[in-house]
Structure 1
Amino acid sequence: MKISEPLSTVVGQGKVPLHLRPDSQRAVLPSQRPTWTGVRNPARQSRKDPRDALLRFEPPLRWSTRRAIRRGFYASEASTRAMMIEVRGLTKIYGRGRGDGTKALDAATFEVPARSIYGFLGPNGAGKTTTIRILATILSPTEGRATVAGHDILDAPLKVQASIGYMPEYPGFYPTMTAEQHLDYWGRFYGMPRADRRRRTKELLDLVGLGAEGGKKLKAYSHGMHKRFGLAQALLHDPPVLILDEPAGGLDPHGIVFFRNLLRQLNREGKTIFLSSHILSEVQQTSTHIGVIHRGRIVSSGTIDAIQSRILGAGTVRILVEAPALSPEVLEGLRAMHDVKDVTRADWGLIVSAGTDIRAEINGYLVQRGVEVRGIKLAEVTLEDAFIALTGGAPT
């Protein structure tokens, strides 16, 4: 008995309704979808499970692409690049055919260095998920270009898909399949031999702490287990780039710490990680670089230290002076110093607000007057401070 089923290609996680010709990387209209025919598994024919036909098929990746994935070609090619993701003038307008449309991205431009953890931040509706879906080749930009691991998202989408592991905010799974069956199933879409699928399945389930739960059906998993399994699925073909949308969303403190340590481990092993998150403190502890998007535009991008220094330099510098015993005359002298805007007393000393970093001048002034200075430093700007300054206090 033969049946016919349209086969959807896979982009990282879940089934994406992007039907491709077997001999082309160009998308086709639903009416032009190719028909794939397979023989139902005789052992399960009586159960009439339509999934049997799909299990017999290779995905619509070119043979050269599948061979390259098996050989790790894209991973080795990407490992020599300085910038793993490059975005230039990316614009996305929804509903252009109905009036002016909605501009979700407005000429966004940024770079993600290789072997970095890049935290992508922004208020709700700023364009984070749209950017991620474009980088994962799920959406096409209205204007602009982007490359991932050296492959253009428009010219070589299948090579981009082979180079990334994509984990959406809400991963989609087949609930009646076990974790082991699920990874084996998706391994076929990447053309992985059976022995490699079995080995990789065991490695990844152990890595994410689900080694003892691999035989359970996914519908029995908790939210935290689904998140960990989603990361395992994204790592299945060992891509050089991970694109994660809210990976720690909805997790308890133990789950957040687990994800943080795991992402750091993967980064040490050479993975480039691009993640969006609303948990600013977690991004600050995990990321090496950040980008802030607001109303579709990138308002800042770089290392966390550089962005914090930029925020400090743009306004008032706060200097913390640890010196308990201070006379009123000394305080008045500090207030009269050049570039000092305000001096506030504290139990442990002073908070001096100034236009520039004048720690040396303050220290010299206090020492000349016999004040015991136990410490003097700049007040740190947290990622939350920087985020509010860059987005104008917009709610997230």
Structure 2
Amino acid sequence: MSLFKQHIDHLIDQTTRALEATGYDGLWIYSGHPENNFLDDMAPPHSINPHFKWWVPVPHVTSSVLHFKPGQQPIVYLHQPADFWHKVVDNSQDKWARYFDVRVVGHYRELPDFTAEDNHAWIGADELQPLAEKDTNPEILLHHLHFARIQKTDYEIHCIGQANELALKGHAAAKQAFYDGLSEFEINMAYLQACQQGQNQMPYGNIVALNENPAVLHYQYQSHQRIAKDQLKSFLIDAGADYNGYAADITRTYAFQPGRFAEMILLMDEKQQLLCQQAVAGADYVALHDQAHLYISEVLKEFGVLTCDPETALESGLSQTFFPHGLGHYLGLQVHDVAGHVSDEKGTPNPPPARHPFLRLTDQLRERAVITVEPGVYFIPMLLEQIKGHDAVNWEVVDEFLPYGGIRIEDNLVIQQGQSENLSR
């Protein structure tokens, strides 16, 4: 039996359970469609409904609908319009289609009457909403389906692994481009070329940051200006790739010259790998996040940035100045995948603790979940200004590291018992 067939059987089982638990007889899932910008005839790149691509591995499809009723073969109304403006790819004969009743739709009028089916739910963005509000994206059903998405099938793990393989090719090319002295824009082009994917295929906007720019956590610009090699200091790249709608999300940091910043990267890498080793089934991710703060505080103490002990830095909140984001998140059909703040299929809230408000994952780690582990240490002027004059900070050393921006190292892990699988190494 193929991995994809096993995956579809799993979705049929999980969706049947979710419908039974929530009292629905069936489900419509809409892929979504692009909508034009204001006062324009051009639309931004379309992001497909993740619930649709959970079933149908065609990430670019639009205006299509999946119909599921327990005990019946799932139907896919696959939109393939007659169009001389754009190339229309026939996906109805792809291998995935053998597990569905695929009905090619050339126009919206050929779609079924969604209201003719009794007691159905509708999942999709508001580009199309044919059912009553109470049956459109009902939270009680979404909680069940989102919770089911935490633990991945072998097919999903394969797809995320393939996305990692593509992304690692990009990372190798970007690293070489950095040492060749290229600009942020040119480094990003080298990354895309190596991945053989366009920017709009990336699961998120690539973060390509030189010198002080890694201090901006989601740095969104790519300068065309090359920096003279005698002025180049650091390079952080946070970039992934897509495979059948599944994402990779990898971060690496480099120093242009040997020295203390390069040594700090090596020590941060050691700490990150220790965290990866502890990320196993049953581990408390909030506790792991606290451990990350201790490790990062140890790094800062080792390099003379902090004068207090790591425990004091954590308990006082000082470490959050240098590590303000969460340790990681679920990964899958979405980069920040769903159900990170719940503890069961009913959606029982499990919010992040007040001391770590940006933590995206708060549950105990479950076998076959895929997560990121991405500790960082940053020298962010805005946050440093808030603790200006703190007597546990060596401000001369802070000034030494400010031009480098910061360090983040991120891997993608498949959670297992005893020892998890690192897809990014």
| TM-score using structure 1 length | 0.27
The structure whose Rg is larger is 1
Q: Higher strand share goes to which structure? A: 1
| TM-score using structure 2 length | 0.26
